[in-house]
Amino acid sequence: MAIRDWPAGERPREKLLARGPASLSDAELLAIFLRTGVAGKSAVALARELIDGFGSLRALLRADLPRFCAGKGLGAAKYAQLQAVLELARRHLAEELRRGEALSDPLAAERFLRAQLRDLDHEVFAALFLDAQHRVLAFEALARGTLDGAAVYPREVVKAALRHQAAAVIFAHNHPSGHAEPSAADRALTERLRQALGTVDVRVLDHLVIGEGAPTSFAARGWL
């Protein structure tokens, strides 16, 4: 049965409008993006098949162009649309941290940093620079590495903080493995950076390790 023949309350688009997007399953949300199914399959059935084939919705969203286009009912046009949607989401989160506005909600910084770093297949060490009133000055990726790590030099981090005239900083880096537990090296690096920045009166507010689930916060663990 085609989706248009379903009861109105069960059609993904109508369900979203009536109950909100959170009421929809992953397959139903993807079906709205797909718009149509293929011969013998509704858009929802195709969406379920795609999610199962890729292993998860996130794996589908992270797929590169060749892998994505190998999925039934997908192609370069859908890939371009999806990348645009994902970039819109990242920019929406970035607007919560507009330059010159005070960081009143720490979760806004967490959401932004997760969106920037979580899906990368290489490690990136980044910083959110703030002024004395914790207003956002800049976000900057300071080092890019392989699956095993990124080279971060305290001198370069201090230079970046001075360039942005920062009074405080929140560090973040991702673990492409998905495991967000900080390593001994992560803790040692954070301490070196804290000491180096302390010499120029820049305070390290937190260091977030981004993985699959909730980020690990150094501040929450009492390490800063």
Express each pLDDT in 189-198 by its tens digit. Answer: 999 999 999 9
User: For the chain, what are the domain ranges?
Assistant: 3-91, 100-217
Give mean pLDDT, residues 10-35: 88
The sign of the CA dihedral 79, 83, 89, 92 is negative
Q: What angle do CA 72, 44, 212 make, to 5 degrees?
A: 80
Confidence band for 168, pLDDT divided at 50, 70 and 90: very high
Task: Name the pLDDT band for 96 (thresholds 50, 70, 90).
Answer: low
pTM for this model (two decimals): 0.68
- Burial per residue of 143-170, b for 16 or more beta-carbon CB atoms within 10 angstroms, e otherwise: beeeeebbebeeeebbebbeebebbbbb
Least confident of 37-46, 47-56, 177-186: 37-46
Q: Could you read off the pLDDT of 137-159 as tens digits, one per residue? A: 989 999 998 767 778 999 999 99
| CATH superfamily of domain region 100-217 | Cytidine Deaminase, domain 2 (3.40.140.10)
pLDDT score recorded for residue 169: 96
> Over the chain, what is the mean pLDDT?
87
pLDDT at 61 over 70: yes
CA distance 84 to 79: 9
pLDDT at 4 over 70: no
Q: Is the pLDDT of residue 2 over 60?
A: no
* Position 97 confidence tier, pLDDT thresholds 50, 70, 90: low
Identify the three-state secondary structure at position 123.
Answer: coil
